[in-house]
Amino acid sequence: MDVEQKVVEIIAREQHLDPSAVKLDSTFAELGIDSLDGVNILFALEEEFKIDIPDAVAQNMKSVRQVVDSLTRVIEGKDISDLVEMAKGGTAATSN
């Protein structure tokens, strides 16, 4: 399974963008992805890959590359405690 290709496909689908507009180096800001859109994309990714993305990791996903890297590690069952650590002190994914 090509994680990168699938991530791009899902981001494009959820944002109603042409897949060619979603690059590995695109940031969420560049793609017009706000906090609520981000939550929506995470939901779609979790459904697609049948995984749980911890909130702490989710908060750190601000670019396509970060999503692909984090997701790959979650899928491969690798230790993600550094990502969780990194997220501490970060802002919540949504407000209210």
Partner 1 sequence: MRRVVITGLGVFASTGRNVEEFFGNLTEGRSAVRRIRQFDPSELTVQIAAEIPDYNPADYFPQKRLDLIDRFSEFALIAAREAMQSSGIEVRDEERPRFGVVTGSGLGGVHTYDNGYFNLYAKQVTKLHPFTIPRSMHNAAASQICMEYGALGPSLATSTACSSSNHAIGEAFHRIKFGLADIMLAGGSDAPITFGTMRCWESVRVLASGNGDPSRACRPFSADREGLVLGEGAAILLLEELEHARRRGARIYAELAGYGMSSDAAHITQPTVEGPARAVRMALEEAQLNPEDIDYINAHGTGTRLNDATETRVIKEVFKDRARRVPVSSTKSMHGHVMGATGAIELVATVMVLDRGVIPPTANYTQPDPECDLDCVPNEARPARVRAALSNSFAFGGLNAVLLVRKFQ
User: Which residues are marked as active site?
Assistant: 34
Residue indicated by tokens 């601000």 = 62
Residues 6+ apart with CB under 8 A from 77: none
Interface segment toward partner 1; rule CB under 8 A; list 1-9, 22-30, 34-42, 65-73: 34-42
| Residue 76 CB, nearest approach to partner 1 (Å) | 22
| Residue 36 CB, nearest approach to partner 1 (Å) | 7
Q: What is the rounded CA–CA span in Å between residue 19 and residue 28?
A: 14
Q: Please report whether residue 75 would count as binding partner 1 according to CB under 8 A.
A: no
Q: Please report whether residue 21 would count as binding partner 1 according to CB under 8 A.
A: no
Instruction: Report the Cα 49 to chain-centroid distance in Å.
Output: 12
Residue indicated by tokens 């049948």 = 50
Residues lying near partner 1 in the complex (CB under 8 A) are found at 14-16, 36, 39-40, 42-43, 46-47
